[in-house]
Amino acid sequence: MILLLVVLFILVPLAELAVIIWVGSSIGYPETIALLLLVSIVGAYLVKRAGVGVLGRIRQQWERGVMPAVELLDAALILVAGTMLLLPGFLTDVFALLLLVPLTRAGVRGFLRRHFVGKLAVRNYTVRPPTNPEWRPPANPPDPYELS
């Protein structure tokens, strides 16, 4: 865990700084800053578009009564991509843009499933019927997405 933190907080920023300096010396520093801003703006648009799509799929799954596990993991990966796009640098931008591509996101999702499947404890809970035999669920439950 400490090695991961060292990589995240020391090595990644150093690598980002080295790449920014290299690109800046190659194409010029104003152009490098403009390119970083352009990638951030395009990335923000792509994050919004991918996020709206995933939220629509989550809602469809909920309406069908299915737990949207894949969609929730996709939403988390899109959130990570959006966070990485906020960081200045080309390396994090490349990884963030790769996370926004559905095919690579599916590969990362599969890796995370394989990595965490043995580490998560699954609990089985049973739902007991209500103690009042005359109780019935409401006929028209309120729509949680409807704004009041």
The model's pLDDT over 4-26, given as tens digits with 9 standing for 90+, comes to 888 888 888 999 999 999 999 99
Position 105 in a domain = yes
Model confidence at 85: pLDDT above 60 = yes
State the total domains in the chain.
1
Domain containing 54 equals 12-116
Q: In this predicted structure, what is the pLDDT of residue 144? A: 64
Secondary structure (DSSP) of 73-111: HHHHHHHHHHHHHHSSSHHHHHHHHHHHSHHHHHHHHHH
| 70: nearest Cα among 110, 43, 116 | 110
If DSSP codes are grouped into helix, strand and coil, which group holds residue 123?
A: coil
Position 7 in a domain = no
Position 20 in a domain = yes
What global pTM score does this model have?
A: 0.73
Token code pair at residue 114? 């394989």
Largest CA distance in the chain: 77
Q: In this predicted structure, what is the pLDDT of residue 148? A: 52
Position 135 in a domain = no
Model confidence at 60: pLDDT above 80 = yes
Q: What whole-number distance in Å separates Cα of residue 32 and Cα of residue 20?
A: 7
